Amino acid sequence: MAVSAAAALLDELMGRNRNIAPSEKTKPINWEDPEFCKFFLVKFCPHDLFVNTRADLGVCSKVHDDEAKALFDKSTSYKKQSYEDEFIHFSQGMINEVERKISKGKQRLALIGKNDPQSSLTPAQTQRNLEQIALLSEKINNLVNEAEQMGIQGNVEQAQGLMKLCDQLKEEREALRKQNDNSHWSQTAELAAAQEKQMEVCEVCGAFLIVGDAQSRIDDHLMGKQHVGYAKLRGALDEIVNLRAKQREDKERQREEERKERYRLREEEEKKRDRDRDERRRKRDDDNSDARAIENLSLEIYETLTKMDGIVIGIAGTEEIAVTEIGTGVIEAVVGATLIRMTAGGVVRETEEIAAMMMITRGATNG
């Protein structure tokens, strides 16, 4: 852990190509390389938010590279979603932890005047722990600064050793903090302060605040690293979640529109088939009706006008007809838009689609 942290620190200070000779060709940056911090590529690295606070996460072991982040933002690869998933999972874990802290703080304020039967540390021990925590924090800050200087000078091994010692001191400091958090005196001291002044719990970071405190103290709290860090974490998490929800809604809306369009086209196709089927049925009915009418008219025309020469205008039933004898035993009659050619052997109806024949004997004609 310490070695990787020191290496990451050197990469940030001296560049990721610090060990490459001038004559060697530099490797092109690829944001998918495992050396880059996924959290930094997505939004920011949570390790940078709480430096030297009670929520300090330590130094990130990965590289924070602005050029890789720019490539990540421009990329359309599906792998970006897995990076966002990891950021959401980590951030949500931190938010859940501070939410538990907020809930616990509210419970403490609700227990004003009640005694806790458990007592782990005396007031003097708790005070000594606070002094030791402050001393450890100062040592940790000095070691971090010294490690940075060693890294700049190229003393990698010494920088790694200092970072390892820094991690040990952080563990010791965290243990002392947990002892004080669990002590009866620490809790009752907070409750005593709450009794003296009305207090509340910050809904962002879980810190205790005095109701109606001076604006300068409120501003100091709002600008503090811990409050700003948790606010930034919550904002980034909400932004990603809301963006994904919007994308899901857009996709669902697009699928619904496509479904409606397919349904509309299918209905139009069915209506067209129905219209074509009805049209064919009407044509068949009209053709059958015309055929029967023409057969009747043809027989009547032939029987009535076969002995006439030239063009004769007459009435056959309710139809006006024009008849022309175009040859011996051959008569043409126009009935509306239909041409009928009649011979002694029969009647031929000539239309665009069908031809109908009705045999008429000469004996029937002469009779």
Render pLDDT for 334-343 as a digit per residue (tens, 0 to 9). Answer: 555 555 555 5
Residue 187 has a CB neighbour count (10 Å cut-off) of 17
Q: Is 241 among the domain residues?
A: no
Task: Please provide the distance, in angstroms rounded to a whole number, between the alpha carbons at the two ends of the chain.
Answer: 124
Is 16 in the same domain as 159? yes
* Domain enclosing residue 151, as ranges: 2-223
Is 200 in the same domain as 67? yes
Give the integer Cα–Cα distance in Å for 147 and 161.
Answer: 8
Of 4-13, 83-92, 200-209, 268-277, least confident by mean pLDDT is 4-13
Of 17-21, 91-95, 361-365, least confident by mean pLDDT is 361-365
Spatial contact of 40 and 72, defined as CB atoms under 8 Å apart: no
Q: DSSP E strands: which ranges in the chain? A: 199-201, 208-210, 311-316, 319-327, 330-335, 338-343, 346-350, 355-358
Q: Is 6 among the domain residues?
A: yes
Phi, psi of 201 (to 5 degrees): -105, 130
Q: Is 287 among the domain residues?
A: no
Q: Is 263 among the domain residues?
A: no
Is 146 in the same domain as 49? yes
Q: Is 318 among the domain residues?
A: yes
Considering its fold, how many domains does the chain have in total? 2
More confident: 220 or 332: 220
pLDDT at 69: 92
pLDDT digits (tens, 9 = 90+) for 247-259: 899 999 999 999 9
Q: pLDDT confidence of 13, banded at 50, 70, 90?
A: low
For 36, half-sphere exposure in the C-beta direction (CA atoms, 13 angstrom radius) is: 20
Give the integer Cα–Cα distance in Å for 344 and 360.
Answer: 7
For 320, half-sphere exposure in the C-beta direction (CA atoms, 13 angstrom radius) is: 1
Q: Is 14 among the domain residues?
A: yes
Spatial contact of 350 and 356, defined as CB atoms under 8 Å apart: no
Residue 138 has pLDDT above 80, yes or no: yes
Is 39 in the same domain as 173? yes
Indicate the residue among 179, 195, 223 that finishes a domain: 223
Of 46-55, 145-154, 230-239, 286-295, least confident by mean pLDDT is 286-295
Q: Which residues 6+ apart lie within 8 Å of 50 measured at CB?
A: 56, 57, 225, 226, 229
Is 29 in the same domain as 162? yes
Q: Is 91 among the domain residues?
A: yes
Average pLDDT, the chain: 74
Give the integer Cα–Cα distance in Å for 218 and 213.
Answer: 7
Q: Is 33 among the domain residues?
A: yes
Q: Which residues 6+ apart lie within 8 Å of 135 measured at CB?
A: none
Indicate the residue among 173, 188, 223 that finishes a domain: 223
Spatial contact of 209 and 202, defined as CB atoms under 8 Å apart: yes
Is 181 in the same domain as 303? no
Residue 286 has pLDDT above 50, yes or no: yes
Is 312 in the same domain as 192? no
Spatial contact of 9 and 59, defined as CB atoms under 8 Å apart: yes
Give the integer Cα–Cα distance in Å for 165 and 174.
Answer: 14
Indicate the residue among 223, 238, 262 that finishes a domain: 223
pLDDT digits (tens, 9 = 90+) for 32-71: 898 899 999 999 999 999 988 888 888 888 889 899 999 9
Q: pLDDT confidence of 170, banded at 50, 70, 90?
A: confident
Angle CA(250)–CA(254)–CA(256) in degrees, nearest 5?
115
Is 219 in the same domain as 313? no
